[in-house]
Structure 1
């Protein structure tokens, strides 16, 4: 894997030469734009607005627009040689608990790898120190024309550099919260917890991009001049499920059934069908007692008749 960049990771007086490696890849399917009648590719040619000549990539450099018709060219070499300590160095400024870094600050991850054999020991030292402390090192580094904030933490046998968004780039979450206070009952919370328990933990290795797979199947079908795959219709929802507790209970039953577990869910007392069942139970028991009493009385009457009939015949 070719390195994205090379840095010196400074940890106090310890300097660790490291390579920055891409930690992720994309399985997104790329498309090209074409002219449908003749399927010719649509191309975008960069042209100089003054002489109208097409330009090659090596003819193009960055420029900062100071004002109208006033541009300041900036080359890649000039950016690489900026007098900044972060130009070739990741300097650790301090440490934070991993849980103290909000998830919305996380950006792209990278792997840090030792550049040479001499870097192995300080690399492992920093990795073990971070792993045992449960903390992450925070520092800055320059990459691709900008300075970045990064968080370094131990993950297994490697150090991971997680690019972070700057704090002032993260918007306030005040507008995302409900506008009014919402009351949640203990029964509703218990129902939601039961559903979480029934669904269980997620195996991340089983999570796949179904959309990319469907697009690939569509492409293969069209190449083979076959009909495209049919759309899998979701199962129809049962009508009339509007009560939150009922929805939670049914979802929990379904989750347990899908996992092959006992799908019986003990409903909360005083809620919906459970309440009706509790009310009807005494009536059924009373009816059962009445039925037993009637049978007992009927048996006694029949016994009395048999006894009376026998005495009459003997008297006759």
Structure 2
């Protein structure tokens, strides 16, 4: 989450180093007229975008992730190194809808006129935030669009189109990989669409409210210990409501995410006689799983909790 003081610090850093990059332009992508060009340099904001870009670009691209694994994207602040990396990139991929609040400042500051900028969420129907404080602080939309197999198809297509633009020689390679990845997403979606249709209970509880798009895919409903942006522990009133919710809906599993404290979730689980299980937001690389593996694990865990 960017506070006002963080924005001020970033602005100061940018103003001090802009001259470093003023003469630095992107190297441009590989084209039919430049067959000796090196691999396109693709910079992505965080792990989920890396998963999509890697699935399509594979060994034809040189990929760098700005936000390190284990770092909460909502709280991230770009560094001078990140700015220099972007100044030499051919493609920059971000997820959008407020997930990377810093992206406009660094894009405008690096002076890379040849940079292909990809808003991976373009074309996705966003879910609006409902809490006034979250709208004021972060914007009007829930940014966790990638935790949805349907949205993953859209985001990966946007990335594929950018790679084709940057490296037209390998167009057929990128197109083929996108089709294969899209088919994997479809197969996984269809498998669990059938499974979720067999359960009457549609409610589950997570550490923070990051799964709204997954819920939309399958007609499920999440309740959470923390809000969309995982900011702070719930009030005693909220915790009491969660206890009642879990008891009324026979919740037997409380899901927790790697980068959100499990303290309150553990307390809640103990109070209602539930178990605590790990679920993936895919913001960071976890347990050496790729996107398909992480989503399959999520879906299977949720499905089992609803049976």
**TM-score normalised to the size of structure 2?**
0.18
Larger Rg: 1
For CA contacts below 8 A with separation 6 or more, give which structure has more relative contact order: 2
Give the structure with the larger helix fraction. 2
Give the structure with the larger strand fraction. 1
**TM-score normalised to the size of structure 1?**
0.18
